[in-house]
Each structure stands twice: as C-alpha cells, then as structure tokens.
Amino acid sequence: MDFTCEVLGDAHDVSAFDSSVPALDAWLRDAARDSDGRNLTRTYVWHTGDRRVVAYYTLMPYFIERETLTKRQGRGLPNRISGYLIARLALDRPLHGQRLGSQLVASALTRAAAGARDLGGRLVIVDAIDEGAAAFYQHHGFAPIEGHPLRLVLPTKLIDASAVPSVL
Amino acid sequence: MSPKTKVLNLRVSDEQRRVYERAAALEGISVSALVTSAADVHADELLHAHASMSVPADVFDGLLAALDGQATPAPALAKALAEPRFENL
C-alpha cells in the first residue's frame, strides 16, 4: 500500500504541507488539532511511513433539515437527514495530477461508510471549491443539491454498493 | 480556484492600513493577499460552524426519495475502491 491513513495526531508533521490552497493548509497547520480535540471534527492524514503528511481530509457529523414555515409536520415524515460532511480535503502539491484525488475521496468515503455502519448516517455531503471540483465529485457519484450547485451529496449506501465485495 | 475578477471595497482606519502593510511586507505578499487569505480561513470556519443546513420542503423530499430509491454505483468510485492505494488504519 502506498499510503497509510490514520487519525491526525501529535506525531504527524504538517509543517511542510502545501496544497496550493492557503486556507486548506492553514486549517491543517493551525486549527485541525484543536477542532478534533473538541470532537467537532475528525481529521485523517495520509503519509508514506515517515509521518510527514501528504494528504488529509476532515469529516464531521452533518444534518440536512426540511425548511418549515410552521412547526407542524406531516405525521411520521422525517424532517432531517443525518450524514457526514467532508469539510476539507487536500493533497500535497507533488501528488497533484496522479489521480490521487479519487483515492483520497475513496478513503474519506470508506470512513464515512464505516461511521454509518456503526452509528447511522444516510448521506455524505461535500462542498466543491469550484465548478471543476463539482464535476469531479459528480464523476464519483455525488449529485448537487437543487439550488446549491457547489454542495453535493452521496448516499452512504452507494459506497457499499460501489465497493467490490471482499472474497471470504 | 476561479479567476479573481471581482473587486471588494473595504473601509479601514489609517492604523489598520499601516498594520496590514507592515505585516504584508514582512511576509513579502500584497495587502490584498494578506486580507483575502485571512478572510478565506475565517469564512471557512464560519461556514462549517453550523453542522446543518436547511433546504425547501420539495428539495428535502427529493433527497429522501433519492435515498429510498435504488443506489446506482458510480464506476469511477467503484474503480477507486477496488484498487486502493491507501490503507485506512
């Protein structure tokens, strides 16, 4: 396996990480450990054995709710859907252009599917930074939310359906 | 990132401007780059501070229907999952 993926910890070196998007680099360097420490998010990093981080993603629980004008709801109808937001996802610059974005998304979705199996969660939600990124996510099975072209969702059950069943 | 074609006008005090100029000079970047990079980080935090979004009822019902329907695997995702180059520990 080329990359080990594990929860961000004190032993990981994030100082040289450069995705070319300053906000994503700053988050990993300055904010991720604090946010994870408060259990708001969970950040996972890739390294090649030396603990120098070459990719990361941050997941958090997320809800999509039905807008209502009154508090009355149709009987028995759910008014919110639970899931996981891929809040951030970035690759170090030397790894760009090698189709590793697909791999990183697959790694994140595998985590989300495991979370869903353990604790529930029907959707994975992601914010694309631009139209190109939105097209990338659509290519991997995500669909944009109507009225939010850069916010896309994927059913967690689709992740299991996409996975090749392991041979026992 | 899409091309930066939009102009954002900001009003700041003399002191703020002097501080921004000094800080930007130390880093060897423009004042514009200094301000936008700080705003990017903060905006990102605010956007993710609330762990939910609400959508109109018809959009919500469309999502529910899609979830209850048949899941169609995406070939690109299936390929990435079938040939992983990572090991999730």
pLDDT digits (tens, 9 = 90+) for B28-41: 999 999 998 888 77
Interface check for B19 against chain A (CB to CB < 8 A): the answer is no
Long-range pairs for B2-8: beta carbons < 8 A, 24 or more residues apart: B2/A130, B2/A131
Do residues A55 and A100 touch, judged by C-beta distance below 8 A? yes
First to last CA, chain B: 32
Q: For the segment A79-104, what is each residue's pLDDT rounded down to a tens digit?
A: 999 999 999 999 999 999 999 999 99
**Contact across the interface for A81 and B72, Cβ inside 8 Å:** no
Which one-letter DSSP state was computed for residue B12?
Answer: -
Q: Give the residue-averaged pLDDT of A140-156.
A: 94
Tokens for A59, please give them: 């997941």
Helix/strand/coil (H/E/C) assignment for every residue in chain A: CCEEEEECCCCCECCCCCCCCHHHHHHHHHHHHHHHHCCCCEEEEEECCCCECCEEEEEEEEEEEECCCCCCCCCCCCCEEEEEEEEEEEECHHHCCCCHHHHHHHHHHHHHHHHHHHHCCCEEEEECCCHHHHHHHHHCCCEEECCEEEEEEEEHHHHHHHCCCCCC
Residue B83's SS3 state is coil
> Across all residues in chain B, what is the average pLDDT?
88
Q: Which residue of chain B is at minimal alpha-carbon distance from A155? A: B67
Q: What is the pLDDT of residue B88?
A: 95
| Partner residue facing A161 (CB), from B2, B63, B73 | B73
For A165, residues 6+ apart whose C-beta sits below 8 A from its C-beta are none
Half-sphere exposure in the Cβ direction for A105 (13 Å, CA): 28
Match 């209850």 to its residue by tokens: B68
Match 């951030």 to its residue by tokens: A88
Tokens for B36, please give them: 């936008």
Q: Give the residue-averaged pLDDT of A113-117.
A: 95
Q: What is the rounded distance in angstroms from the CA atom of residue A121 to the CA atom of residue A155?
A: 9
Q: How many CB pairs under 8 A join A and B?
A: 161
**Contact across the interface for A66 and B57, Cβ inside 8 Å:** yes
Tokens for B10, please give them: 């900001």
Helices (H), B1-89: 14-27, 31-49, 57-68, 75-82
Neighbouring CB atoms inside 10 A of A117's CB total 12
pLDDT at B25 over 80: yes
For A103, residues 6+ apart whose C-beta sits below 8 A from its C-beta are A3, B80, B84, B85, B86
Q: What's the pLDDT band for B14 if we cut at 50, 70, 90?
A: very high
